[in-house]
């Protein structure tokens, strides 16, 4: 089963930033999207994460067409979570930041159960001691860990990740990778942008390589790295 995109086109005025005939993202695996700056990685992630509805072509999730209506996309967004490179914290405690998604989505109405979920998520990322701290006063690395906890507490079907290790030290990166591998073992689908080839080798089951808005090659990772289409492309020089 795949999350599929067909004839995906994104442009600003006359500038085409993404033009893909077809892309397939396997469910229950970690797909890594790689490519140089300006390749269209973030544009593709925003489409796949149901954030951008102003594009040509169509997305199909489990063979069903993804709507391009803000109202109808709510259901899809509630099945997913995002971990951004530069996450925004709300002016409230760390605990309340992590609990917010559960409240807004109405996933857990029982306060005791909700508190248990939040506490477990914070402990998983090693930031349970920050529960009462104002999230606006955290360090960059702490913000990133809280952001990860805030996403994973939702137990999403789809996890979208944009360069999550950029603000983390080595030990925290190892923890992040461990957590993402655990999520994949639970059957979650992870779609990850990274410039870190070592990170890709650690996490990826499937690779999507973009260059100048075009798909260079996609397939099982790392076997795809040995394919002539990849080795003969300009992307190879980027690595």
The reply to whether 10 and 62 lie within a common domain is: yes
The reply to whether 70 and 100 lie within a common domain is: no
Domain that holds residue 13: 2-79+157-238
The reply to whether 163 and 95 lie within a common domain is: no
Considering 155, 170, 204, which residue would you say is the last residue of a domain? 155
52-82 per-position pLDDT tens digit = 999 999 999 988 999 999 889 998 999 999 9
Report the pLDDT value the prediction gives residue 224, as an integer from 0 to 100: 84
Q: How confident is the model at residue 238 (pLDDT cuts 50, 70, 90)?
A: low
Q: For residue 239, give the 3-state DSSP assignment.
A: coil
Q: Taking 80 as the threshold, does the pLDDT of residue 137 lie above it? A: yes
d(CA 208, CA 34): 6
List alpha helices for the chain, DSSP H: 41-48, 70-77, 94-105, 111-124, 140-152, 170-185, 197-203, 228-231, 234-238
Q: Is residue 84 in a domain?
A: no
Q: How confident is the model at residue 237 (pLDDT cuts 50, 70, 90)?
A: low
d(CA 31, CA 122): 25
Q: Is residue 86 in a domain?
A: no
- Bigger pLDDT: 12 vs 229: 12
Q: Is residue 8 in a domain?
A: yes
Question: Could you tell me the CATH number of the domain that includes residue 19?
Answer: 3.40.50.300
Report the pLDDT value the prediction gives residue 239, as an integer from 0 to 100: 58
Q: Is residue 224 in a domain?
A: yes
Considering 127, 155, 183, which residue would you say is the last residue of a domain? 155
Report the pLDDT value the prediction gives residue 84, as an integer from 0 to 100: 87
Considering 155, 170, 187, which residue would you say is the last residue of a domain? 155
143-199 per-position pLDDT tens digit = 999 999 999 999 999 999 998 777 788 988 899 999 999 999 999 999 999 988 889
The reply to whether 221 and 167 lie within a common domain is: yes
Of the given ranges (4-8, 46-50, 89-93, 213-217), which has the lowest mean pLDDT?
213-217
The reply to whether 19 and 68 lie within a common domain is: yes
Q: For residue 125, give the 3-state DSSP assignment.
A: coil
Sheet holding 30-34, edge to edge: 80-83, 158-162, 189-193, 30-34, 206-211, 214-220
The reply to whether 60 and 119 lie within a common domain is: no
Count how many domains the chain has.
Answer: 2
Q: Is residue 85 in a domain?
A: no
d(CA 133, CA 38): 37
The reply to whether 41 and 135 lie within a common domain is: no
């Amino acid at each position: 089963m795949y999350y599929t995109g067909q004839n995906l086109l994104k442009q600003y005025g006359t500038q085409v930033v993404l033009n893909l005939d077809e892309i397939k993202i396997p469910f229950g695996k970690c797909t890594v999207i790689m490519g140089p700056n300006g390749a269209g990685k973030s544009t593709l992630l925003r489409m796949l994460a149901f954030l951008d509805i102003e594009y040509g072509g169509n997305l199909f999730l489990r063979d069903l067409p993804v709507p391009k209506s803000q109202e109808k996309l709510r259901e899809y967004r509630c099945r997913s979570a995002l971990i951004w490179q530069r996450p925004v914290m709300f002016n409230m405690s760390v605990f309340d930041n992590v609990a917010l998604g559960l409240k807004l989505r109405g996933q857990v109405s029982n306060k005791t159960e909700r508190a248990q979920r939040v506490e477990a998520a914070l402990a998983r990322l090693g930031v349970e001691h920050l529960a009462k701290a104002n999230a606006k006063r955290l360090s960059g690395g702490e913000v990133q860990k809280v952001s990860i906890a805030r996403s994973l507490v939702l137990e999403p079907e789809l996890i979208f990740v944009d360069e999550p290790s950029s603000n983390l030290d080595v030990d925290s990166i190892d923890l992040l990778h461990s957590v993402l591998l655990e999520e994949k073992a639970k059957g979650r689908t992870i779609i990850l942008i990274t410039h870190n080839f070592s990170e890709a080798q650690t996490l990826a089951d499937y690779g999507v390589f973009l260059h100048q808005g075009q798909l260079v090659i996609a397939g099982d990772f790392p076997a795809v790295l040995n394919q002539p289409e990849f080795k003969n492309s300009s992307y190879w020089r980027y690595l």
